Structure 1
Amino acid sequence: MDKNYRQNITVQYCFPDNNSSCRKELHTPTNLLILSLAAVDLLVGLIVMPVKIMELIDSCWYLGKLGCCILLVINGILLSASLCNLVFIAVDRYIAVTDPLLYSTKITVCKMSMMIILGWSFCLLFAIMYFYFNDNLLPSQISTRCYGECVVSVKFFWVIVDLVVFFLTPCSVILVLYSIIFNVARRQARTVRAVKNGASKKHGAKLSSPSETKAAKTLGIVIFVYLACWIPFYVTSLSVESVTSASIVWAVFGWLLYINSSVNPLIYAIFYPWFRKSAKYILSCRIFESSSSRFNLFPDRF
């Protein structure tokens, strides 16, 4: 046996009377990414969308200038973090599909946790810079025409910066990686079909297609929906020299961005039965039961 392989093997002992004797891996790197993306969608639904609905119905801001500044920063962080997570997911799936044998050594829970923290930190820093240089970060910087108004004015230079940093560059990376993933998945599907046909002729066995193919298609739909929601927003922002949130068009396309956060969980719920089952356990608070660690989300596999 190879020496390096033997060094990577860790022996763990379990004792029936001590549940803590075995270290249980509750999360994989991919699960952490899905959790981070779900956290973004949840925060948008709990914080941003209720306030925006209130503002849309009454067209008046009741939370003052400080509340306006805080919401702007939170909104900027969440929207940029959503795309950041999609980039990480694309990179994760690219490595998993193109180099599956070394995936567990290249992508670990610790490394992925650090990447997620760095991604959220970058989004926070960019949001602070973005609103500070557009005179929207501090209450003293916000100028309103009347009391009860929360209007964002963005300079055209920063529209271009935002377009490059948080749209063109990451979306180009995502599209390139997914084009490679789909090509690899197509080759894998052909191989599986060939093996399936051969096995069916010899033994009558039925083989399933790789789960990576389904994951790639699902995440590809997530990317498509994301682009469909964001492209109108940026096309509109490039049509004027100074963008203001008081515009009706801005409000309509801005809501497309919030709706995107609502669509992601629906996509996962449609394609993954385990996602629906886990959501049911969470919403019904059954995860707090002592037997929750033994819930089987994949009954067909056992």
Structure 2
Amino acid sequence: MNITEYQQNLTVEYCFPDNNSSCRKEVRTGPGNIFLFSFLSCISVCTVFLNLLVILSISHFKQLHTPTNLLILSLAVADLLVGLVFMPVNTMQLRDSCWYLGKMACTIVLIINFISMSASLCNMVFIAVDRYIAVSDPLLYSTKVTVRKMSLFIILGWSCSLLYILIYLYFNDHLLPSQILSRCHGECILFIKSSLVTTDLVISFICPCSVILILYSIIFTLVRRQAKAVRSMLNATSNRHRAKVSKSSNSKAAKTLGIVVCVYLALWIPFYLCSLTVENITSFSLLWTVLTWLILINSSVNPIIYAIFYPWFRASAQYFVTCRLFNFSSTVILFLEHI
């Protein structure tokens, strides 16, 4: 052993120095790593803030208690869990490779992460169905879709997501703490079996995305037909102005739905493509880290897409940012337009 190797051995750190089976501690320092950790921390904070803003706004103002907004609230809760739990934990592991919280916490974090992502996708499917009913049958929408019915569907969606994740982790040998295999003490690594990747691809990606794309394509077609019908029926000057407004509103709705689909597919497709090409993926690899954060960023984008484009969000955000949210009655009218 030369002098250089001897000095390197002297500087080796362990996660648990008193444990003979402890993992080696890898602390990533340097300007580049510090900038990366700061950037990821900012994403986590923004994710929590934006989704918490959506949750408080919808929960506080009774004017926002509509079936569609309940779906947005459920989506914000799922994304809040990602920003509040998994993003900080993942950032901490990037800075320090050690896991200090034990196997039980490792299992809980995995469950929270997967159920949040699964529930988020489930809510997106419900939102697509809700918008389809609203566009295809607007006169009977209020009778078909009620707050009570939507609440039951949301509870059912979260329950199915939890059941699927428990089954998935059980067959992947990561549900019980005794099932988690660690190469050393102080490690929390997720190994995805290649046999489960295809199943998860169909259940968690192809089927839901197919439903979303089909419904949105139908919505686009219906919106264009309705816009043409309005333009053909309105011939007077004043009515032409209203037709122009209607066309602008329909175009904005179509553009928003298109952004939702494109962003989601752009962030999830790389993960599943790499999952199919790589035989075994470990959560400790650089590839997994990049793909994971692409998916996590979707939790930051969702409140922007689903909320900021709505006027009620801008109105309620002013109360929240100026710390006046709870100084007003929950029955206050945010705006006179239909939400």
Scaled by the length of structure 1, what TM-score is found?
A: 0.84
CA contact (8 A) 1:286 1:292 kept: no
Q: CA deviation at 1:155?
A: 1.3
After superposition, what is the alpha-carbon deviation per residue over 1:165-201, rounded to whole angstroms, capped at 9, x for unaligned?
11000100110110000011111222333445x131x
Q: Secondary structure at the match of 2:74?
A: helix
Distance in 2 (CA, whole Å) between partners of 1:226 and 1:137 is 27
Q: CA deviation at 1:44?
A: 1.2
Distance in 1 (CA, whole Å) between partners of 2:79 and 2:257 is 15
Distance in 2 (CA, whole Å) between partners of 1:86 and 1:204 is 35
The verdict on how the C-alpha distance between 1:203 and 1:54 changes in structure 2, with shifts beyond 3 A counting, is closer
Equivalent residue number for residue 271 of structure 1 = 309
Identity of aligned residues (%): 64
Map 1:179-258 to 2 at 5 A: 179-195=217-233, 198-200=235-237, 205-207=241-243, 208-209=245-246, 211=249, 213-258=251-296
After superposition, what is the alpha-carbon deviation per residue over 1:89-139, rounded to whole angstroms, capped at 9, x for unaligned?
001111111111221222111111111000000000011111111111111
Q: CA deviation at 1:241?
A: 2.6
Equivalent residue number for residue 118 of structure 1 = 156
CA contact (8 A) 2:223 2:250 kept: yes
Q: Which runs of 5+ in 2 are unaligned?
A: 1-61
Alignment counterpart, residue 207 of structure 2, candidates 165, 169, 183: 169
Q: Secondary structure at the match of 1:267?
A: helix
Q: Secondary structure at the match of 1:147?
A: coil
Q: Secondary structure at the match of 1:233?
A: helix
Distance in 1 (CA, whole Å) between partners of 2:239 and 2:205 is 51
After superposition, what is the alpha-carbon deviation per residue over 1:177-236, rounded to whole angstroms, capped at 9, x for unaligned?
10000011111222333445x131x67754521656533431331121111100000001
Question: Which letter maps to 2:258?
Answer: G
CA contact (8 A) 1:33 1:85 kept: yes
CA contact (8 A) 2:102 2:186 kept: yes
The verdict on how the C-alpha distance between 1:290 and 1:266 changes in structure 2, with shifts beyond 3 A counting, is closer
1:98 matched to 2:123? The reply is no
Q: Secondary structure at the match of 2:179?
A: coil
Equivalent residue number for residue 15 of structure 2 = none
1:144 matched to 2:218? The reply is no
Equivalent residue number for residue 291 of structure 1 = 329
Question: Which letter maps to 2:236?
Answer: A
Equivalent residue number for residue 145 of structure 2 = 107
The verdict on how the C-alpha distance between 1:85 and 1:292 changes in structure 2, with shifts beyond 3 A counting, is same
Q: Secondary structure at the match of 2:177?
A: coil
Q: Which runs of 5+ in 1 are unaligned?
A: 1-23
Equivalent residue number for residue 44 of structure 1 = 82
Question: Which letter maps to 1:88?
Answer: F
The verdict on how the C-alpha distance between 1:78 and 1:204 changes in structure 2, with shifts beyond 3 A counting, is closer
The verdict on how the C-alpha distance between 1:47 and 1:203 changes in structure 2, with shifts beyond 3 A counting, is closer
CA contact (8 A) 1:159 1:237 kept: yes
Q: Report how many residues are paired.
A: 275
Q: CA deviation at 1:160?
A: 1.1
CA contact (8 A) 2:72 2:306 kept: no
Distance in 1 (CA, whole Å) between partners of 2:240 and 2:219 is 30
Distance in 2 (CA, whole Å) between partners of 1:55 and 1:122 is 30
Q: Secondary structure at the match of 1:294?
A: coil
CA contact (8 A) 1:86 1:223 kept: no
Which structure carries more relative contact order (alpha carbon 8 Å, separation 6+)? Answer: 2
1:33 matched to 2:71? The reply is yes
How much is the aligned-residue C-alpha RMSD, in angstroms? Answer: 2.1
Q: Secondary structure at the match of 1:143?
A: coil
Q: CA deviation at 1:152?
A: 0.5
Runs of 4+ displaced beyond 6 Å: none
Distance in 2 (CA, whole Å) between partners of 1:203 and 1:155 is 61
After superposition, what is the alpha-carbon deviation per residue over 1:215-261, rounded to whole angstroms, capped at 9, x for unaligned?
34313311211111000000011112322212211110011111011
The verdict on how the C-alpha distance between 1:275 and 1:128 changes in structure 2, with shifts beyond 3 A counting, is same
CA contact (8 A) 1:151 1:245 kept: yes
Distance in 2 (CA, whole Å) between partners of 1:190 and 1:288 is 44
Distance in 2 (CA, whole Å) between partners of 1:144 and 1:257 is 25
The verdict on how the C-alpha distance between 1:199 and 1:153 changes in structure 2, with shifts beyond 3 A counting, is same
